[in-house]
């Protein structure tokens, strides 16, 4: 025989609310901490890596203990470091003639 329900239906509040109604008032422009300057917005992009390069980022991330950095954090740092070094003139680039590939002059 099945157990009887222990919940009294009279104790359950009726559902009369709109599920699409906002639960909090919208933030005013001065209160919205998510607003950032257009030049500081982050845009997700993809990068093509070989398996070895991908694993290298994983290995570097695992070596950052106790920081426990993620692979993505390491990749973000590497790209930003590259941009700083390139702008400072410490990295010179030349392009291959085929497929627009780039290599770093050493």
Residue 95, Cα to own-chain centre: how many angstroms? 30
Tell me what percent of the residues of the chain surpass a pLDDT of 90.
17
Separation CA 18–CA 35 (nearest Å) = 28
With 0.95 as the threshold, say if the pTM is over it. no
Structure tokens at 94: 């030349």
Instruction: Flag whether pLDDT at 10 surpasses 60.
Output: yes
Residue 78: the pLDDT is 92
Q: What is the pLDDT of residues 37-79, one digit of tens each?
A: 878 888 888 888 889 999 999 999 888 767 778 888 899 999 9
End-to-end, the C-alpha distance of the chain in Å comes to 81
**pLDDT bucket at 92, cuts 50 / 70 / 90:** confident
- Domain positions in the chain are 48-106
Between residues 85 and 21, the one the model is more confident about: 85
């Amino acid at each position: 025989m099945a157990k009887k329900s222990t919940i009294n239906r009279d104790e359950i509040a009726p559902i009369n609310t709109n599920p699409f109604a906002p639960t909090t008032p919208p933030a005013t422009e001065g209160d919205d901490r998510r607003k950032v300057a257009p030049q500081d917005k982050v845009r997700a992009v993809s990068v093509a890596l070989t398996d070895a390069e991908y694993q290298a980022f994983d290995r570097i991330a695992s070596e950052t203990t106790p920081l426990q950095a993620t692979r993505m954090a390491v990749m973000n740092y590497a790209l930003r470091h590259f941009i700083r070094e390139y702008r400072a003139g410490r990295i010179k680039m030349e392009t291959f003639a085929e497929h627009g590939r780039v290599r770093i002059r050493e």
